Amino acid sequence: MQAQVVSVDILIDLLKRQFPRFDEGGSWFYDSCYLVWTKEDVVDCWNAWKKYYEEELLKYLPEAFDCDDFAEQFKCVARRALLKKYRVYAGGLAPGVAIGRLYKDEAFLGYHAWNLILLNLYGDNYALVNFEPQTLDTWIGFIGPDKFRYELRWVVW
C-alpha cells in the first residue's frame, strides 16, 4: 500500500496554523516524517481502539490511569494497527499525543491529554483531527462534542 508522508517541518507548520497557542519548543518530535492518515486509516484505528477498550475494560482512575494514559494507549494501539497495513514504511505512523489546557465555558479545569491525527482531507490538503480516547469522539477545531475547549500547547509525536 502506498503511504503519503509529510516532513516534520510541514507537520509543525500545520500545528502552528491550526493551534495558535502551540509551543514547538516544549514539544517532542521523534521522526523526520509522518504518515498522513486516510479516512480508512481513521476507521481502522478507531475500530482497533474500540475493540481494545472494550476487551481491556478500560476505566478512568484518577492519576493511576487518566487522560495521558488513555492517549498513550491509543497511540500504541493505532501504531500496531497501521504497522499491519503499512508493513514497509519510513516514518512515524502513530498519532500524536496532544497536551494542553481544558476549559468549560471560561473556567480552566486543568491540563489534559488527548490525541491528534494528521488526516488527508483531499489532495495535499491536511487537517489535524482531535481524538478523545476516553469518549471515542473526533472533531476539528477547539471545541469538542462535550462542549469543552481544548487549548493545545504541546505534542509528543
Name the nearest CA neighbour of 95 among 144, 155, 135.
155
CATH of the domain at 76: 3.30.460.70
For the chain, the first-to-last Cα distance in angstroms comes to 23
> With bands split at pLDDT 50, 70 and 90, how would you rate the model's confidence at 1?
low
Mean pLDDT over 23-30 rounds to 96
pTM: 0.93
**CA dihedral of residues 132, 135, 139, 141 (deg, nearest 10):** -60
Domain residues for the domain of 30 are: 5-156
pLDDT tens-digit profile of 35-75?
A: 999 999 999 999 999 999 888 888 877 877 799 999 999 99
The pLDDT value recorded for residue 44 is 95
Q: Which helix (H) or strand (E) holds 74?
A: helix 67-85
Grid cell, residue 53, equals 477498550
> With bands split at pLDDT 50, 70 and 90, how would you rate the model's confidence at 90?
low
Query: With pLDDT > 70 as the criterion, what percentage of the chain qualifies?
Result: 97
Alpha carbon 38 to its chain centroid, in Å, reads 14
Summary mean pLDDT of the chain: 92
Question: Residue for cell digits 509543525?
Answer: 12
Domain count, the chain: 1
What's the one-letter identity of residue 156? Answer: V
**Rounded to an integer, what distance in angstroms lies between the CA atom of residue 31 and that of residue 7?**
9
pLDDT at residue 100 is higher than 70: yes
Are 4 and 119 contacting, i.e. CB atoms less than 8 angstroms apart?
Answer: no
